Amino acid sequence: MNAQELITLARTQQRAALDEQAGKSLLAAYGVAVPQSRTVKNAGEVDIAFATLKPPLVVKIMSPDILHKSDAGGVKVGLQSAADVKDAINTMAASPKIQGARIDGYLLEEMAPAGQEMVIGGLRDPQFGPLVMVGLGGIFVEVLRDVSFRICPITRLDAAEMLNELKGVAILDGARGMKPVSIDAIIDVLMKVGGENGLLMRHADDVAEADINPLIVSGNGAVAVDARFILSTK
C-alpha cells in the first residue's frame, strides 16, 4: 500500500487514527526507518513470523480500542524466543484491560539499538496549517515541555535551529559522558516529516496530529519505534 492508500483504508474502516503498523508503514513510505516487524493474529502464528525476525523482539497489542498500549499491559519487551513471544501474547489476551477490547492482532517487532529517545510530532494548526515539532524524549517532553515548533515546510536550516532551541540540546552532543548522536539523522527525519515534500505537507488535509514517540537516535541513524497518526475529522 502506498501512503495515501494507508490513509484511505483507515478512513474506510472509520478509524480515528492509523494503527501502529499502518503509521509505521506511512513513515516508511517517506523513507523514515522503522523496525522490522510481522503481525500475527494469535499465538498459533508466532513460529513462522519469529523465524524471519532477529531477536530480541517486542510484542505489542493491536486494537482500535486501546490508545495507550503500555498502560493496558499491551507491550512486552526483550523477548528472546518464540516461546517467550507466545507466553506474552497469551498473558496479554487474558489481561483484564484487554479482554473486552477488539483485537486486530499482535505486532512482533525487532528492538531498536540503544540510543537517545527523541519525539517528533505534527499538528494541523487552524491558522497556519501543518506544524512540525521536535523534543527530547522522556521527562524532557513530558515534564519540562522542552520542544520546538516550526510551520511546515521547513528547511534543513530550520530543522537545525529547532534542535539548537532545545534546552537539552547538549545531550545530543554527548553531555554527561553519553555517546553523541547523529544530528544529521534527526534532521533527515524532520525533513521527511515536515519538509517541502514531507509527510505533513502531502497529507495536510488528513493528518490532524502526529507523534513519533520514541524516535531512537544513535551515532549513525534514527529509528521510529512508535508512531501515532490521528486523522482529521472532515
Q: Is 147 in the site for another protein (CB under 8 A)?
A: yes
φ, ψ dihedrals at 154, nearest 5°: -100, 160
Burial class (CB in 10 A: 0-12, 13-18, 19+), 204: middle
**CA pair distance 9, 142, nearest whole angstrom:** 32
Q: Is 145 in the site for another protein (CB under 8 A)?
A: yes
Q: How far is the CB of 117 from another protein (least distance, A)?
A: 13
DSSP 178: P
What is the distance between the terminal CA atoms of the chain, rounded to a whole angstrom? 22
Q: Is 28 in the site for another protein (CB under 8 A)?
A: no
What are the residues whose beta carbons fall under 8 Å from the beta carbon of 50, sequence distance 6 or more?
A: 57, 81, 82, 85, 108
Q: Which of 34, 218, 219, 220 is nearest to 115 (CA)?
A: 218
Q: Is 155 in the site for another protein (CB under 8 A)?
A: yes
Nearer to another protein, 51 or 143 (CB): 143
In the list 133, 187, 190, 215, the residue contacting another protein (rule: CB under 8 A) is: 133
Q: Is 41 in the site for another protein (CB under 8 A)?
A: no
DSSP 68: -
Nearer to another protein, 154 or 222 (CB): 154
Q: Is 154 in the site for another protein (CB under 8 A)?
A: yes
Which residues are registered as beta bridge partners of 150? 132
Q: Is 68 in the site for another protein (CB under 8 A)?
A: no
In the list 131, 201, 215, 222, the residue contacting another protein (rule: CB under 8 A) is: 131
Binding interface with another protein (CB under 8 A): 119, 121-123, 125-129, 131, 133, 135, 141-142, 145, 147-151, 154-158, 161, 165, 209-211, 213, 228, 230
